[in-house]
Amino acid sequence: MQEYYYPISLLVVILLSYTFFQNNSTFLMLLTIGIGIYIVYSHETGHTATEFKDSVIKSINDEAHDFSNKKGIHAYDGEKLEKSVK
């Protein structure tokens, strides 16, 4: 059944886009065409938006790791903060 998801989703996108074109809704037509382009791109390349998001978050996390030691900023002390809260 999963082998039919890709062609069915493209057919739905084409039908929606045509319907929006007939109703003079240009924005929604362009939005559905963009969704169709994303579906084809992710199917052909295997790259998804979730994969892109995960790589961006990993990159930010790698850059933020030991930021205070790299920049010589030692103002934040988590243990001192916990003592003052208690």
Mean pLDDT for 14-40 is 95
Q: How many CA atoms lie within 13 A of 46 on its CB side?
A: 0
Residue 33 is predicted with a pLDDT of 96
Q: Render pLDDT for 46-57 as a digit per residue (tens, 0 to 9).
A: 888 899 999 999
At 21, the pLDDT band (50, 70, 90 cuts) reads: very high
pTM as predicted: 0.63
Residue 36: C-alpha distances to residues 25, 42, 82 (Å): 17, 10, 51
